[in-house]
Amino acid sequence: MATTLKLSDSINFAQAFGGWRGLALGNANEPAITCANIILQTLVAAPFTWNWNRASVTFLTSGGVQDYTPASSTFGVIEKASYVLAANITNTALTNNVATYTAVNSFIVGTNVSVTGSTNSAVFNVVNKPIVSATPTSFTINITNANIASAADTAVAVLTTNSVPGSLTEISNVINVLGSGNELGTPSFIAPQVDDNSGNITFRILPIPDQVYQITIVFQKRIPQLINSLSSTWAPIPDHYSFIYQYGFLALICAYFSDSRYMQFSNKFVAGILGAAEGLSEDQKNVFSRAWYNSVTEQQFTNLRTAQGVEGLGKS
């Protein structure tokens, strides 16, 4: 989904409604820059979630470890989280078409497994293969290939079904912060515990994982960069959502100039964003509507009071 429209395009659109007033004044190009960023932040921030702004991060837990900091520089807000049983492989060998993986695990014979990242041989990377035998320290599968000598390895095994993680369990409690704990078990709570403002998010899990799991977090991405010039695009918002942000931008410009049409364009903006939004409850829609109209009305009346004050000074 392409993002090609620029702030300059929105200015041209807005000026056609406002007598071609200057909207990008001085070195800072105000009020256009600030109005655009307010709309950009409104669209990408909670409670809104969009399929064009969704990503995921996956990491492995360790038994007895509560906090994890995977690479997640684009992380914004968690939507969902889940886990599946996994294992860290430390050694692999292939003899008479039987591949043996050394790994502490809780796998069961007959379930399927996928393996990635083998440093011994690519032959050990498999997809959706049934487990033939399993002990607490190793498991085997059938692979038709020449023998491969036993060697250290750093592959990862994950239970799968039809080539995707099997026995997936949702971590149903996604919250803002978690305290420290000492109970061990399967993950039930997860929180983006610490954001160091350098692109590193530390996730905390409770109960503390009792073994190796693969955790998958689905999230909304943060705004990569605020609009800072007339040539900036509306990224990450795709062009086919311009019907939303153009009216929001126009509403704020009208409010700035105390143009009574600000409410007309606000209605179009709110109708557009709520009509396109995914998965919002009626309460969330109502809260957003009230907050938006209150903020725009306050801006409009602030400018009106300023204009009235200036007029009063001129008459005194």
- In a domain, residue 178? The reply is no
Q: Could you tell me if 43 and 106 lie in one domain? A: no
Q: Is residue 13 part of a domain?
A: yes
pLDDT at 304 over 50: no
Count the helices and strands in the chain (H runs, E runs).
5, 21
- Locus of tokens 């070195």: 27
Q: Which residues contact 273 (CB under 8 A, 6 or more apart)?
A: 42, 43, 48, 244, 248, 288
**Which residues span the domain enclosing 240?**
7-50+223-315
* Helix, strand, or coil (residue 96): coil
Q: Is the confidence at residue 7, as pLDDT, over 50?
A: yes
Q: Which of 135, 154, 173 is the last residue of a domain?
A: 154
**247 and 306 in one domain?**
yes
Region 128-148: mean pLDDT is 97
Cis status of the peptide bond prior to 209, with omega within 30 of 0:
no
Residue 282 in any domain: the answer is: yes
Encode pLDDT of 240-252 as tens digits: 999 999 999 999 9
The verdict on residue 199 lying in a domain is no
Question: How far is the C-alpha of 5 from the C-alpha of 66, rounded, in Å?
Answer: 44
What number of CA atoms fall less than 13 Å from residue 77's CA on the CB side? 11
Q: How far is CA 275 from CA 49, 79, 279, in A?
A: 13, 20, 11
What are 64-117's pLDDT values in tens digits?
Answer: 999 999 999 999 999 999 999 999 999 999 999 999 999 999 999 999 999 999
Final residue of a structural domain among 109, 128, 154? 154
Does position 177 have pLDDT exceeding 70, yes or no?
A: yes
pTM: 0.83
Mark out the alpha helices in the chain (DSSP H runs): 7-15, 32-44, 242-256, 262-276, 282-315
pLDDT value of position 18: 75
- Can you give the pLDDT at residue 256? 87
Which of 3-7, 35-39, 113-117, 301-305 bottoms out in mean pLDDT, i.e. has the lowest?
A: 301-305
- Cis, bond preceding 236 (omega within 30 deg of 0): yes
Which tokens belong to 271?
């109708």
> How many separate domains does the chain show?
2
